[in-house]
Amino acid sequence: MYFIIFFIVLLLLAVPLGRYIASVFSGQQPLFMRWLRPVERIIYRLCGIDEGEEMTWKQYAGSFCILTLFGIAFLFILERIQGGLPFNPQHLGAVRWDTALNTAISFATNTNWQSYGGETTMAYFTQMLGLTTPNFVSAAAGIASCIAFLRGFMRKSCSTIGNFWVDVTRSILYILLPLSIICSVVLVSQGVVQTFRGYPRVQTMEGESQVIAVGPAASQVAIKQLGSNGGGFFNANSSHPFENPTPFSGFVELLAILLIPAAMPFAFGALTNRRRAGWVFFCSMALLFCVGFLIAASAEHRGNPLFTGAGIAGNANMEGKEVRFGVTESVLWGQATTVTSNGSVNAMHDSFLPGTSIPLIFNMAIGEVIFGGVGVGLIGIFFYAILTMFLCGLMIGRTPELLGKKLEPLEMVMAVIALIGPCVFLLIMIAVGVASPLGLASRGNLGPHGFTEIVYACASAMGNNGSAFAGLSANTIFYNLLTGFGMLAGRFLTILPALFIAGSLARKRTFPTSSATFPVENPLFIVILCGVIVIVGALTFFPVLVIGPFLEHLQLMSGIMF
């Protein structure tokens, strides 16, 4: 029932939000938001941006790269000098160089992978300026890239795909900032902390002295969820009572994770005037999401086979979960955070049963196209749609088309690079982690569970996800550099091919739909698209899953634990 209510609320909010996003980027902002238009113009004037100037795909991609690299450099420097900056009541010193580099790459690429404890590593100033700012900017860059990609289908005989800086500004000003303010107020009302005071020292019931970590958390929690970022203000992330104190705050944060990604298909439908196609992509994502959730929830509710075999039947697996959330919400959160590039957790994934780990790893390994990150998820499922139309074109003997645009070898090559490239890099990362003594030394467990810890960390980094399995000691030079490389590869191998395809399609003319065109606005396309996604993911990662969670499940059934 919780899942059904959640999904109904998500759909009721995603549809109008998608139409609102379309209005923002079509230059027809709703009346209730037009008061921000003068603010937008002032930003352009201060930054020297010509609102009417359009960019080619190369200029757009170059601007994206510049913003990302500048964000990495800025955050790295800020972390290294935070000891001398204000708003540091705990007098935290400089962040270690490899941790600082990993964190800078992580937040600039919308990953927010954290190998450190936030309350013991980052000062308030670093949290607010260094971490919250990239939460907005990296998410806005993802939305902007998606809009540019869609313009490739919308335009004909055109060499430009928009202005990157205008798209980023509108993403922040009209979408991310208003939603974050609303979400922050709701979270503060539920008890999420928002203060600049130092950590108070209290006396426990046992008479001992304890330091309680606090800080300006609510403002960061709101954008970390809405922007598919996921970095926790506290080390325990969204299982921490100061970051997620009540079942209602959990519902709001869970809703925020999926809200914008779920709205993007409807934004696509409104922008291209193909609303049925928008519903097709949403339904494809929703179908895969529901199947993954049911598999994971079934495994967790069955419980540990060692316990059920001992006569304790019917006990769900509560290990690593907060009692105020329970099994269903913890699994739903795990599914939501791995299908998007969010990475926040309200339960320890290391304590999930092997049957639950399989869909979570699969969600990240296929490129997080089931809703996905803000903007980037829709781009990812379009790559699979291009591959699907190519296969369908081979079956019916026609040049593949998608939304009226002919798909030629260049588009196919770029789509395959975007789909297969991250998979190849992910498998290489896993091999390096398993083959290196430094990689093996960080495992919290031996056997297939320890292998799964390494696989999960690599998949999280390459998928720009950021969630942690919580059993791997990743704050080492080896893993900080390995995952940092993966985060960069995952970000650029997705967005740069998408911008190339956008530029290529924008130059083409649009062909009218004919009787020979394979339709994309019917249930058959949903089935074929989902089938292609599952088959490609299974063929690529089946061996990895077999020697990881599958083997662990069989050994668990035999009474072997690690």
Mind listing the pLDDT tens digit for each residue in 354-367?
889 999 999 988 88
The answer to whether residues 246 and 380 belong to one domain is no
Residue 303 belongs to a domain: yes
Bridge partners, 321 (sequence order):
347
Q: Is the pLDDT of residue 63 over 80?
A: yes
Question: What is the structure's pLDDT at 33?
Answer: 83
Tell how far CA 128 is from the center of its chain.
21
Residue 232 belongs to a domain: yes
CA dist., res. 240 & res. 229, Å (int): 17
The answer to whether residues 368 and 317 belong to one domain is yes
The answer to whether residues 373 and 499 belong to one domain is yes
Q: Is the pLDDT of residue 513 over 80?
A: no
The answer to whether residues 61 and 96 belong to one domain is yes
Q: Is the pLDDT of residue 277 over 60?
A: yes
Q: Is the pLDDT of residue 545 over 70?
A: yes
> What percent of the chain has a predicted confidence (pLDDT) above 70?
97
Question: What is the structure's pLDDT at 177?
Answer: 93
Structural domains counted in the chain: 2
Residue of 340 and 27 predicted with greater confidence = 340
Q: Is the pLDDT of residue 311 over 50?
A: no
Mind listing the pLDDT tens digit for each residue in 152-168?
988 888 889 999 999 99
Mind listing the pLDDT tens digit for each residue in 378-395?
999 999 999 888 888 777
The answer to whether residues 281 and 299 belong to one domain is yes
Q: Are 50 and 292 in contact (CB under 8 A)?
A: no
Question: What is the structure's pLDDT at 308?
Answer: 60
Q: Are 363 and 296 in contact (CB under 8 A)?
A: no
Residue 443 CB contacts under 8 Å (≥ 6 apart), including other chains: 450, 453, 454, 471, 472
The answer to whether residues 250 and 342 belong to one domain is no
Residue 140 belongs to a domain: yes
Residue 405 belongs to a domain: yes
Question: What is the structure's pLDDT at 197?
Answer: 81
Residue 462 belongs to a domain: yes
Question: What is the structure's pLDDT at 314?
Answer: 54
Question: What is the structure's pLDDT at 68?
Answer: 94
Region 35-59 average pLDDT: 91
Q: How confident is the model at residue 473 (pLDDT cuts 50, 70, 90)?
A: confident
Residue 562 belongs to a domain: no
**Quick one: 125 exposed, middle or buried, by C-beta within 10 A (0-12, 13-18, 19+)?**
middle
3-state SS string for 327-374? HHHHHHHHHHHHHCCCCCCCECHHHCCHHHHHHHHHHHHCCCCCCCCC
Residue 323 belongs to a domain: yes
The answer to whether residues 8 and 98 belong to one domain is yes
Question: What is the structure's pLDDT at 124?
Answer: 83
Q: Minimal CA–CA distance to 386: which of 283, 496, 498?
A: 498
Q: Is the pLDDT of residue 399 over 80?
A: no
- Which domain-ending residue is among 241, 267, 293? 267
Mean predicted lDDT score pLDDT of the chain: 87
The answer to whether residues 394 and 473 belong to one domain is yes
Residue of 540 and 207 predicted with greater confidence = 540
Question: What is the structure's pLDDT at 511?
Answer: 75
Question: What is the structure's pLDDT at 491?
Answer: 92
The answer to whether residues 243 and 369 belong to one domain is no
The answer to whether residues 286 and 140 belong to one domain is no
Domain with 395, as residue range(s), is 277-557
Region 266-270 average pLDDT: 93
Q: How confident is the model at residue 240 (pLDDT cuts 50, 70, 90)?
A: confident
Mind listing the pLDDT tens digit for each residue in 417-441?
998 988 999 999 999 999 999 989 9
Q: Is the pLDDT of residue 67 over 70?
A: yes
Q: How confident is the model at residue 515 (pLDDT cuts 50, 70, 90)?
A: low
Residue 272 belongs to a domain: no
The angle at the Cα of 148, spanning 72 to 382, to the nearest 5 degrees, equals 100
The answer to whether residues 165 and 293 belong to one domain is no
The answer to whether residues 385 and 317 belong to one domain is yes
- Which domain-ending residue is among 213, 245, 267? 267
Residue 210 phi, psi dihedral angles, 5° rounding: -140, 140
Q: Is 203 strand, coil or helix?
A: strand
- Which domain-ending residue is among 219, 244, 267? 267
Question: What is the structure's pLDDT at 313?
Answer: 47
Region 202-215 average pLDDT: 81
